[in-house]
Amino acid sequence: MLDKVLKIGVLFDFYGALLTDKQRQCVEMHYLNDFSLAEIALEFAVSRQAVHDILKRAEQILFEYEDKLGLAKRNQRQQHAIQEAYELLNRLKPEEKLPEIKLVLDKLSGLLDNTKEA
């Protein structure tokens, strides 16, 4: 279940703006704020079944966007490549680190720090 919540969270970060307002609010409430179906149903004055249907449709849409566009997967590959490059360069002995390599390490480090905060 946690794996699904994490996947939905990542996909929501990339494609959430493409959902309808109600779908976006329901996904935020359920997956990001841990609201139950009953709590969301009360908020929107609909049945729990209606909330369930909205969430299932939103999940389907998020996964379809990822299947077609692959932005989350591409981002994950890029982050992995950046991490590997940073680790390889960082293993060099201090005397092997040319000023250009030091500059690359600083830039990679800045990218890695930014992605951890986001």
Please measure the distance between the N-terminal and C-terminal CA atoms of the chain and give it in whole angstroms.
23
54/76 Cα distance (integer angstroms): 28
Length of the chain (residues): 118
Structural fold of domain 2-69: Arc Repressor Mutant, subunit A (1.10.10)
User: What percent of the chain clears pLDDT 70, i.e. is strictly above it?
Assistant: 92
| Domain boundary assignment for the chain | 2-69, 73-117
Banded model confidence at residue 96, pLDDT cuts 50, 70, 90: low
12/72 Cα distance (integer angstroms): 10
Task: Say if CB 26 and CB 51 are below 8 A apart.
Answer: yes
Its pTM stands at 0.73
Both structure tokens of 102: 């030091």
Banded model confidence at residue 87, pLDDT cuts 50, 70, 90: confident
CA distances (Å), 27 to each of 4, 5, 18, 73, 99, in order? Answer: 12, 10, 12, 20, 47
- pLDDT per residue as tens digits for the range 29-60: 999 999 999 999 999 999 999 999 999 999 99
